[in-house]
Structure 1
Amino acid sequence: MSLRLYDTASRMKRDFVPLVEGHVSIYACGPTVQKAPHLGHVRKEVNFDVLRRWLEHTGYEVTLISNITDIDDKILLLAQESGEPWYALGYRVERIFHEAYRALGIKAPTYEPHATAHIPEMIELIEILIANQHAYAAPDGSGDVYFDVASWPSYGELSGQKADEMVTGEGVEERGKRDPRDFALWKGTKPGEPDTASWDSPWGKGRPGWHIECSAMAGKYLGPSFDIHGGGLDLRFPHHENELAQSRAAGRPFANFWVHNAWVTQAGEKMSKSLGNTADVLEAVARYGGRAIRLYLAGPHYRSSVELSDESLAESAAQLERVDSFLARAAAKLSAVELAGDEPLGQVPADFAAAMDDDLGTPQALAVLFNTVREGNQALDRGDLPAVGAALASVTAMLGVLGLDPAAPEWASAASTDDLTPVVDRLVQTVLSQREQARARKDWASADAIRDALKDAGLTIEDTKDGARWSLGKA
């Protein structure tokens, strides 16, 4: 394997060498469950899912940890405004995130730890930082504990910011800080906050700060050092900068690579709930289909921003329709014996592999995919079945890496007999159209073969005066 990844910390592409041979450990920062996700939130999930699939395709075992931040200032504020218990709000929104992930074919992480379930690990880490003289309890009796930024000369190494450019970004009043840059490790309970949102600690009742959560959970499940940490570019500072500082100040080497994806933008601005320029994931899926949305998010290079527009989403749907049309035509032509052609199933073209190994170059990889589809259609037109089989095998393998194979379990499980995705209907309609063309030219053998192939796949075809209709289940 010759994968090179752009490491945010060193600001350069580096050869990826896992810490443990044959195994890759990844910590990808998960959502703060305050509001339903927009397309900007789930781009990270799609990008890291593609990374995971490529690593697995090349033979690695992958452990992927992605957390849930289920206690937070904003969660408490929104719950107070709505009158809903904070934990009920978080759980409700978490379910929406999971629904969005399933709708986009994102594989579940190896484990998904919740912040509220790891308070002891956070307290232990804070105590180590205090003992190492890199953290202090506020002297004002508030119960707050802060990381002492001035005690860590390397602070700023990830984001490249200078000391006078840094702000906390925490959105709360500063109580007992030595330095405005110092960030909260533990937040003492404030008047009016619910009792359920606080835990006992050596500094009094309170709850963890945002940044300590991920350091504690990454350490528990991946150890003091692991291969890859990342998330959206907006997390680089202050969240990941603070994670890096507190983890290394506690004597933990932490992440070997830092990988960050760029934003989804609308009218040139980062997609943000505060700006109101959001696009609900499930609404977009209902309109264009989950695979089309996934292609829209995965197609551009992960470090390039993606501009949201109806035109770009429609283009992704059209691109996918062309791919699916080839899959349907090829499957209708080939028998099971012919499907592999001269290529072993599961092999991707060398140009596709080279693109993916070059910092997950999905635009170049997609160019290989679309070119192979075009060559496969040309082979279909000239009746070259071995070439069709080779193209179909390659296309299927590439779609699997990108998480776009319509036959994969994650897409099959997303559909039901009552709510089939539009792309499935397009696939079947394409095949039925070819059957109608065969019937029009009185090629009854081809028409019957197509109908039999669909029946063998578990579909019932009914010829009516308005055309052929299909449904799941054999007649």
Structure 2
Amino acid sequence: MRSWSAPEVPALPVTGPEVSLHDTATGGRVTITPKDGPARLYVCGITPYDATHLGHAATYVGFDLLNRAWRSAGHEVRYVQNVTDVDDPLLERAAKVKVDWVELAERETELFRQDMQALRVLPPDHYAGAVESIPLVVEMIQALEAAGAVYSVDGDLYQSATADPAFGEESGYDRETMLRLFGERGGDPDRAGKRDPLDPVVWLAERPGEPSWPSPFGPGRPGWHVECAAIAREHLGAAFEVQGGGSDLVFPHHEMCAGHAQVVEPGARFAQVYSHAGMVGYDGEKMSKSRGNLVFVSALRNSDIDPMAIRLALLRHHFRADWEWTDAELFDAVDELGRWRRAVALGAGAPAAPVVTEVLAALADDLDAPRAVAAVTAWVDATLGTDGLADTSDPDAATAVLAVVDAALGVLL
């Protein structure tokens, strides 16, 4: 599948610190220093049944900071993202609006590309759709069968969750919480015939009126979790550095992904770090299609809002925090962006070296974008002289600040 065009990223004259991230599985910090080869990142992508809302944008901008922080630290990065271009929510939406599901998926995926490009999110090296990855899924299911972990319920194939001895370690949830979340987030804990209510489906047998593909198990389509596990293993190998996504993916999605992969390759932790972005709310609730409280990136762009102001509004919140979007958030960011641009337009300014150091240090510290933004704002305040004393002692300040804001924060001034 085609990704989107990459923005130019300026090279910085200094090297940033090694990146440390909060790991959901352990609850602690992990400093990630790839020893052989690139730093590897898998971020779960969209199910393209609707446009990109600000909750999506916050997640992908958050992990874009990780991509950039690794590059600032001198590492090559291999980034993979999927598109779940066949799944129940997509098929249900297509039927409801009476549009071909392929057409809907292609249209919304293209809109997502445009939104990501406008927000200057670095594109993945491999952008893989579920449909094109069905051969990889089939191979993984065959490996799970060989391990004795797969069984059939009326033609649908399930994996025994407990076939992975580490099941539950990624989320740390108790069984009661797992059962509740599994039912709320696309699972089928009440299906008769399953050996355990928490067992995930890996292959859905053909249903009337739904798309299907041939396989050794009969015609059908892949389950959600096995799709990501197969794509990640194919492009990143075992025990890659970071699996990322929204906090609503902690369970069941990331737990089940790990379970599939760890049965196929026992003893190898699927990802070294599991990192999760917070949820963005609107009107007092998490943004979601079911609540109808979505703010779309494309709608803001079409109303002449500078995408860099949207990105800056997102950066003013830590990527792991839950927070609420308001119009005031956006217009504050519009004003802040204008002040940043006025400061760099002067050319000379307050000393830039401390700003560069602080921005890189902040992002290496669990992607602390608010701290980095505060450092730039402090430089802007000193340069514009908000206290009545403008500082233009560094003749090359603007060049250095422009470069670090672009390279590390992804904001083009």
- Does TM, normalized by the shorter one, top 0.5? yes
Contact 1:25 1:62 in 2 (8 A): yes
Q: 1:343 to 1:323 in 2, by over 3 A?
A: closer
The reply to whether residue 181 of structure 1 matches residue 193 of structure 2 is no
Partner Cα distance (1:113, 1:275) in 2: 29
The corresponding residue for 1:299 is 316
Partner Cα distance (2:369, 2:356) in 1: 14
Q: 1:395 to 1:374 in 2, by over 3 A?
A: farther
The reply to whether residue 218 of structure 1 matches residue 239 of structure 2 is no
The reply to whether residue 278 of structure 1 matches residue 290 of structure 2 is no
The corresponding residue for 1:243 is 257
The corresponding residue for 1:357 is 364
Structure 2 unaligned runs (5+)?
A: 1-16
Out of 95, 99, 111, the position equivalent to 1:96 is 111
Counterparts of residues 116-265 of structure 1 (less than 5 Å): 116-138=131-153, 140=154, 143-167=155-179, 168-169=182-183, 170=186, 174=191, 176-193=193-210, 197-251=211-265, 252-265=268-281
Partner Cα distance (2:389, 2:250) in 1: 53
Greater shift, 350-359 or 242-251, is seen at 350-359
SS of the aligned residue for 2:128 comes to coil
| Partner AA of 1:361 in structure 2 | D
Greater shift, 156-165 or 208-217, is seen at 156-165
| Partner AA of 1:225 in structure 2 | A
Q: 1:305 to 1:287 in 2, by over 3 A?
A: farther
Contact 1:129 1:246 in 2 (8 A): yes
What's the C-alpha RMSD, in Å, of the aligned pairs?
Answer: 2.3
Partner Cα distance (2:96, 2:290) in 1: 16
SS of the aligned residue for 2:82 comes to coil
Out of 367, 371, 376, the position equivalent to 1:369 is 376
How much has 1:292 moved relative to structure 2?
A: 0.7
| Partner AA of 2:358 in structure 1 | D
Contact 1:144 1:175 in 2 (8 A): no
Structure with the bigger RCO (C-alpha within 8 Å, sep 6+) is 2
| Partner AA of 1:238 in structure 2 | P
SS of the aligned residue for 2:142 comes to helix
How much has 1:392 moved relative to structure 2?
A: 4.7
CA displacement 1:452-471 (0-9 Å, x = unmatched): xxxxxxxxxxxxxxxxxxxx
Partner Cα distance (2:39, 2:99) in 1: 40
CA displacement 1:269-301 (0-9 Å, x = unmatched): 211110111101111233532001101112211
SS of the aligned residue for 1:166 comes to helix
> Which structure: greater helix fraction?
1
CA displacement 1:337-382 (0-9 Å, x = unmatched): xx9x9868xx953232322221111111111111111222239x87
Partner Cα distance (2:390, 2:172) in 1: 58
Percent sequence identity over aligned pairs:
35
| Partner AA of 1:366 in structure 2 | V
> How many residues end up aligned between the 2 structures?
389
SS of the aligned residue for 1:249 comes to helix
How much has 1:235 moved relative to structure 2?
A: 0.8
The corresponding residue for 1:427 is none
How much has 1:395 moved relative to structure 2?
A: 4.8
Contact 2:344 2:398 in 1 (8 A): no
Partner Cα distance (2:223, 2:273) in 1: 24
Q: 1:377 to 1:78 in 2, by over 3 A?
A: same
Partner Cα distance (1:149, 1:51) in 2: 31
Contact 2:164 2:262 in 1 (8 A): no
Counterparts of residues 59-98 of structure 1 (less than 5 Å): 59-98=74-113
CA displacement 1:56-90 (0-9 Å, x = unmatched): 12211111111111000111122222332211111
SS of the aligned residue for 2:96 comes to helix
How much has 1:51 moved relative to structure 2?
A: 1.4
Contact 1:376 1:387 in 2 (8 A): no
How much has 1:267 moved relative to structure 2?
A: 3.3
The corresponding residue for 2:343 is 326
Partner Cα distance (2:162, 2:390) in 1: 71
The corresponding residue for 2:307 is 290
Greater shift, 175-184 or 34-43, is seen at 175-184
How much has 1:319 moved relative to structure 2?
A: 1.0
Q: 1:39 to 1:343 in 2, by over 3 A?
A: closer
Partner Cα distance (1:2, 1:109) in 2: 21
How much has 1:383 moved relative to structure 2?
A: 8.1
SS of the aligned residue for 1:5 comes to strand
How much has 1:266 moved relative to structure 2?
A: 1.6
Partner Cα distance (1:49, 1:2) in 2: 16
Partner Cα distance (1:5, 1:119) in 2: 32
Contact 1:68 1:115 in 2 (8 A): yes
How much has 1:391 moved relative to structure 2?
A: 5.2
Partner Cα distance (1:382, 1:300) in 2: 30
Partner Cα distance (1:398, 1:83) in 2: 45
Partner Cα distance (1:290, 1:384) in 2: 29
The structure that has the greater radius of gyration is 1
The corresponding residue for 1:450 is none
The corresponding residue for 1:55 is 70
Q: 1:308 to 1:10 in 2, by over 3 A?
A: same
